[in-house]
Amino acid sequence: MHRAIALFLATVLFTLALAAAASAKEKYQHPAPTRLTRDGEKWAEKTLRKLTLEEKVGQVFMIWCRASFLNVENPEYLQLRDAMQKYHVGSFAMTVHVDGPYLLRSEPYEAAELLNRLQSDSKLPLLFAADFERGVSMRLLGTTVFPHAMAFGAVGKEEDAETFGRISGEESRAIGIHWNFFPDADVNSNPANPIINTRSFGEDSKQVGDLIAAYIRGAHEAGMLVTAKHFPGHGDTATDSHLGVAAVNGDRAHLDSIELPPFRRAIEAGVDSVMVAHVTVPALDSDPNHVATTSPAIVTGLLQQQLGFQGIVVTDALDMAGLTHLFANDIGRAAVEAFKAGNDLLLIPADFGASYDAMLQAVRSGEISPERLDRSVLKLLKAKASLGLNKARLVDVNELDTLVGKPENLAFGQQVADDAVTLVRDNGKVLPLISPPKTNGTAKAALPYTTVEEIHNRLLAVVFSDDVRTDSGRAFARELRARVPDADVMYVDPRVAAGMSDQVLKAVDQAQTVIAAVYVVPSAGKVGNSVSMPDATATLLEQLLDSAGQKTAVIAMGNPYLAASFPKVENYICTFSNASVSEVSAVKALFGEIAIRGHLPVSIPEVAARGAGIERPARVVSGGSQHAQN
């Protein structure tokens, strides 16, 4: 009898354990290629029927969520929770806090915990998106670091772009991000473009389209939604739309041959969403009060009807000056006009409360039909179901240490940066640099703040950046000094360049070899935005080249068009990126430790055409001497 009872209890406990395990398994997301099942479709349709008008309007908005640790009573967290309860917001765009020039990147665990908590507090599953143009490392530490998109263009391998998409997708889904606002489908045909530049894969429409399609394949394999941006093309502009109105002035034939093909390719590849830019396009809509975001002719007529895109149409951020100047007296109308133009998701409104109220009023008055609203809400609900969020909305933070920052993924990011290095000019007098022979004894520790007189090897690196307080040049300097411990590194920015010019030029005169590392990359919303060097640093670089051009190698750590402003450059290297992996690659290339085999994905006016690149084999150290290896 007792044995039978014991056996019964054991069976019950085993059954309960299995049920608990199954419940735990269902609790967490298990990313897989997105697929809308019939059950998911039914859930979306049933959910739509249950929503109130107020809830439906909330579903078409996406607002910021800044990843950091937040106490449940923290006012910032209470604002997020209030947005879900009061405005029924259906999605968040994850970013991090900034402090002046500093991006305060967070940790994966902090981000995942916050997103899980928001999911738990929300009535409906939330969509989380992010701008992970260079992978998750743009916002979070400890993740795989990739160079800018243009570096992939310099390498030109579709398989690399596919792997890029897959790894980005795996790491994004691991922390709870479902949707990436990438790839960038802009064709950077304007060298003066201040906001696209290295964010684009290049200037050739076909190559851009091929790399985009490859990225989409990889991202979809990992279960991540992706976005082609900035429709109908932001590559041939000379204004940052965060600050003002950018114009695309090409005629329809030009648009059809340059701007639009990558978007067509993305649609063919199954891209989930298209982001519309705040740019004027007279060839498509002559109304001076319309930017693409608020143009029915562009969003509904061109994108949806002519190109046949049926996925989610998302606005660029509604708080950008390229749009807000049109609605300065009634900021909520920006959301209404964008929605009426054909957008489904309204991203980052300048005034969320006013925008929500304006949308609500527009539906109640009949300006926006209930059917039109339902169509967009259903798209978003189906996207959630395709991700499996109707079944499990949380991520397992205990799996982060196995899914994020895998050594093989880190190595891949570094390899792409290595392969992208492109040698544009070489006078044969500087490269490759030779490291001093290593001694058997313990090297004397280098003293901080050493003066020029204390430098023995006479290798000087001058790091030009927007702000000497940022990380620009730090990884570069560490790698340089790992090979030449007494190398002198000087940091200059526009505020100190004039005052340091005598000191810098004196060091240049005494050095045997000079490296000028120039950090210029596109930066959204920077006052006076430009990808040209500011006058003060440009003047100093010009003086440097005037006095020591033959012994100087200039490295463009970002904007490859830099050389067009400095025709005296005799040795010129492009990395197309300021990411830490690109800094490491630059130093490896300087010392001949890697083969140089990148080719320009853009043309540099009066310097080099697209496809140019001087290939150099790696050099192998053997028996105290260095020799080439193909």
Kindly state the helix (H) or strand (E) to which residue 287 belongs, with its residue range.
none
**Tokens at 396, concatenated:** 């397992």
Least Cα distance to 188 among 580, 524, 534, 604 occurs for 604
Question: What SS3 class is residue 238?
Answer: coil
Measured at the CA of 88, the angle between CA 86 and CA 93, to 5 degrees, comes to 115
Looking at residue 521, its amino acid is: V
Q: Judge whether 316 counts as a catalytic residue.
A: yes
Helices and strands (DSSP H and E) totals, the chain? 21, 20
Question: Which residues contact residue 282 at a Cβ distance below 8 angstroms, ignoring those fewer than 6 apart?
Answer: 247, 249
* Catalytic entry in 184, 240, 316, 344: 316
The Cα 473–Cα 481 span in angstroms is 12
Structure-token match 């739509």, residue found: 48
- Residue 279: φ, ψ to 5°: -125, 150
Cβ atoms of 494 and 536 closer than 8 Å: yes
| Tokens encoding 298 | 């562009």
604 touches 576 (CB < 8 A): no
Burial 534-548 (b: 16+ CB within 10 A, else e): bebbbebbeebbeeb
Report d(CA 237, CA 152) in Å as an integer. Answer: 22
147, 154 contact by CB (below 8 A): no
How far does CA 161 lie from the centroid of its chain? 14
Residue listed under structure tokens 């300087």: 590
- Residues 6 or more apart from 389 whose CB is under 8 A from it? 29, 125, 126, 127, 178
Catalytic residues: 316
